[in-house]
């Protein structure tokens, strides 16, 4: 089996670097449980860079059927289009004998899917790159000494059945879900994922890194309420930044501190500690307009298409309960208020239920959130 390509710009496809060299540990087979946007892109790129590894994609519906009919997944990005040859299935037996399993279903599907596949996972190392904090669910069915969790700041979408598009190549970080995992298991998994060509780091403090990313998303998912482009339309807009993003983020800081959860710094542009400083610096008079002008020019950052927006547009349930809802849950456990995050949860659920997705304007959302602060 070899990965094939249809693009003329192959040189810019993420390629494995010397540090990755996935196959010096003789990996023969990997599987992706939940081979949608994130999972199929990582699995497909690993296949491209390690043609000798068999890659099994566990999916369902027309996305599964298309991958089965074609025998490949199409990967689109700033490199053009490439195809990676994969085996696609919905059956647990298809993943038997895997060295590593990438676990990338939506958080609400975690428990049922982990139970269904647990036996076939066997001794494989399992890496979850999901949003939300799922280790307590996964560890009920998966060997504790093989369970790794993490976060990815990449941005992908299924743009058609069997076709995944990469909008942003950001950093991913993985780490042991418990002390039972040895550093060697972590490093082997990191190297294998890094051989996708998308940078993957390891952290001993993975829970703090996951919460860092979760806080980033609490602001991002609020930008979905008005279909606002998070950076150029949101963060670089003084009104939205100060009425929506900062109150949500600062509420998250207060809640995590009350819950005794330490935040860990993260690499890349979505580190919330760096982000918080940036938002305050942008309040220097005139600076945000200047930055917005630059951001609208040729150097403009790619638009983040948040997974909550993708889910709403596909009429799917979102993961809002596990992101802004996680902050609201921790707040209620710790006896502190979280009106901003709770309101994002309420509003997203309302949108999930309505057939016609009605996005309020950015100014209406900013005014609404200011009124919450005044209560
Ligand atoms: N997309 C992104 O840019 C990012 C996503 N994430 C996180 O990564 C995780 C995955 O997200 P994403 O890739 O976007 O999600 P997708 O919905 O694109 O992919 C998940 C896939 O798993 C399939 N699936 C779920 N349960 C099963 C099952 N039991 N058997 C077979 N297939 C199954 C789903 O099918 P179906 O569609 O039928 O449900 C879907 O195709 C989420 O936690 C998300 O928050 C993190 C960072 C960025
Ligand atoms: C922030 C982002 C897009 C990852 O980069 C994400 O996690 C999401 O859309 O849920």
- Closest ligand 1 atom number to CA of residue 311: 17
**Residue that the structure tokens 């004998």 belong to:** 97
Q: Are 94 and 56 in contact (CB under 8 A)?
A: yes
Tell whether ligand 1 has an atom less than 6 A from the beta carbon of residue 37: yes
**Amino acid 21: pLDDT:** 52
Q: What's the alpha-carbon Rg for the chain, to the nearest Å?
A: 20
Tell whether ligand 1 has an atom less than 6 A from the beta carbon of residue 61: yes
Q: Give the three-class secondary structure for 364.
A: helix
Distance, CA of 150 to CA of 193 (rounded, Å): 12
**Amino acid 303: pLDDT:** 84
Distance, CA of 191 to CA of 21 (rounded, Å): 7
- Spans of the chain, pLDDT less than 70: 1-13, 16-25, 298-299, 375
CA atoms within 13 A on the CB side of 232: 14
Q: Which ligand is nearest to the CA of 94?
A: 1
User: pLDDT digit string (tens) for 64-119?
Assistant: 999 999 999 999 999 999 999 999 999 999 999 999 999 999 999 999 999 999 99
Q: Which ligand is nearest to the CA of 153?
A: 2
Q: What is the ipTM of this complex?
A: 0.98
Nearest residue CA, atom 28 of ligand 1?
Answer: 113
In total, the chain counts a number of residues equal to: 375
| Tokens (6 digits) for 278 | 């940036």
pTM of structure: 0.93
**Amino acid 9: pLDDT:** 32
**Residue that the structure tokens 């996972």 belong to:** 121
Tell whether ligand 1 has an atom less than 6 A from the beta carbon of residue 36: yes
CATH architecture for the domain at 209-374: Orthogonal Bundle (1.10)
| Tokens (6 digits) for 112 | 């049922």
Nearest residue CA, atom 29 of ligand 1?
Answer: 113
- Tell me, letter by letter, the H, E, C secondary structure of 21-46: CHHHHCCCEEEEECCCHHHHHHHHHH
Residue range 4-11+25-204, CATH number: 3.40.50.720
| Tokens (6 digits) for 259 | 């819950």
Q: Give the three-class secondary structure for 226.
A: coil
H/E segment holding residue 160: strand 147-160
- Closest ligand 2 atom number to CA of residue 154: 5
| Tokens (6 digits) for 111 | 């428990």
- Residue span(s) of the chain under CATH 1.10.1040.10 come to 209-374
Distance, CA of 155 to CA of 302 (rounded, Å): 10
**Residue that the structure tokens 């059927």 belong to:** 65
Q: Give the three-class secondary structure for 195.
A: coil
Tell whether ligand 2 has an atom less than 6 A from the beta carbon of residue 217: yes
- Number of other CB atoms surrounding residue 190 within 10 Å: 23
Beta bridge partners of 175: 149
**Amino acid 286: pLDDT:** 85
Beta bridge partners of 81: 76
**Amino acid 165: pLDDT:** 97
- Residue span(s) of the chain under CATH 3.40.50.720 come to 4-11+25-204
Distance, CA of 65 to CA of 60 (rounded, Å): 7
CA atoms within 13 A on the CB side of 321: 10
Q: At residue 16, what are phi and psi to the nearest 5 degrees?
A: -65, 140
Beta bridge partners of 201: 173
CA atoms within 13 A on the CB side of 175: 17
**Amino acid 297: pLDDT:** 73
Q: Which ligand is nearest to the CA of 223?
A: 2
Q: Are 171 and 197 in contact (CB under 8 A)?
A: no
- Number of other CB atoms surrounding residue 128 within 10 Å: 30
Distance 305 CA to ligand 2 centre (A): 7
**Amino acid 295: pLDDT:** 73
**Amino acid 62: pLDDT:** 98
């Amino acid at each position: 089996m070899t990965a094939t390509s249809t693009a003329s710009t192959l040189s810019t496809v993420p390629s494995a670097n010397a540090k990755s060299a996935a196959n010096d540990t003789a990996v023969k087979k990997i599987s992706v449980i939940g081979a949608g946007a994130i999972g199929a892109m990582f699995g497909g790129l690993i296949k491209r860079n390690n043609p000798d590894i068999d890659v099994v994609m566990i999916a369902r519906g027309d996305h599964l059927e298309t991958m089965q009919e074609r025998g490949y997944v199409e990967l689109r990005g700033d490199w053009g289009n490439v195809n990676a040859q994969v085996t696609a299935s919905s059956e647990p037996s298809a993943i038997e004998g895997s060295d590593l399993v990438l676990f990338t279903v939506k958080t609400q599907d975690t428990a049922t899917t982990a139970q269904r596949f647990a036996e076939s996972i066997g001794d494989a190392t399992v890496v979850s790159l999901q949003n939300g904090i799922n280790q307590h669910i996964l560890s009920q069915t998966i060997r504790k000494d093989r369970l790794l969790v993490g976060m990815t700041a990449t941005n992908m979408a299924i743009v058609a059945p069997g076709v995944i598009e990469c909008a942003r190549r950001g950093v991913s970080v993985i780490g042991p879900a418990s002390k039972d995992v040895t550093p060697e298991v972590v490093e082997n998994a990191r190297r294998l994922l890094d051989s996708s060509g998308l940078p993957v780091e390891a952290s001993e403090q993975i829970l703090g890194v996951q919460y860092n990313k979760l806080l980033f998303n609490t602001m991002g998912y609020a930008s979905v309420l008005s279909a606002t482009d998070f950076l150029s339309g949101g963060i670089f807009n003084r009104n939205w930044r100060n009425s929506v993003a900062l109150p949500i983020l600062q509420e998250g800081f207060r809640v995590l501190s009350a819950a005794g959860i330490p935040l860990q710094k993260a690499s890349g542009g979505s580190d919330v500690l760096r982000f918080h400083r940036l938002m305050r610096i942008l309040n220097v008079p005139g600076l945000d307009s200047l930055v917005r002008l630059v951001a609208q020019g040729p150097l403009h950052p790619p638009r983040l298409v948040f997974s909550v927006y993708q889910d709403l547009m596909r009429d799917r349930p979102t993961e809002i309960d596990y992101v802004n809802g996680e902050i609201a849950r921790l707040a209620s456990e710790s006896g502190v208020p979280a009106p901003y995050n709770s309101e994002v949860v309420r509003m997203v659920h309302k949108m999930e239920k309505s057939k016609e997705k009605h996005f309020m304007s950015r100014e209406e959302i900013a005014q609404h959130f200011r009124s919450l602060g005044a209560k």
